[in-house]
Amino acid sequence: MSNSTSATVKNSSKSKPNGITEAAKEQAQAAAEAGADIAKSVAETAKTHVGEPLKSATDQGSKFVKENPMLAVAGAVGVGVLIGLAVRQKY
């Protein structure tokens, strides 16, 4: 083989993997964009379906604490004691 033929073969063998690499990059980027779009759609749906009930529950909890502060404190202390008993280690 002559030097020019050898150089042509080497150059063509280098360009083929580069083309495959570029194609893989494009496919990966397209897949990532599609995944991001799906995630955004799921987040918006979750916000719509969970956001309002969660806000309502938070408002009800705040109202209860304002109307019954001593009962709220007693409940918090009781929950704290139960958690403390559950996680303590016996020596």
What's the pLDDT tens digit per position in 32-86? Answer: 888 888 999 888 888 888 888 888 889 999 999 999 999 999 999 999 999 998 8
Distance CA(15)–CA(34), nearest Å, equals 29
* pTM score of the predicted model: 0.42
pLDDT at 4 over 90: no
- C-alpha separations of 63 from 13, 40, 69 in Å: 73, 33, 10
Are 27 and 34 in contact, with CB atoms under 8 Å apart?
Answer: no
Residue 1 has pLDDT above 90, yes or no: no
What pLDDT score does 74 carry?
Answer: 94
Count each helix (H run) and each strand (E run) in the chain, helices first. 2, 0
**Confidence (pLDDT) at 49:** 83
Q: What is the pLDDT of residue 43?
A: 87
Q: Tell whether the model's pLDDT for residue 12 goes beyond 90.
A: no
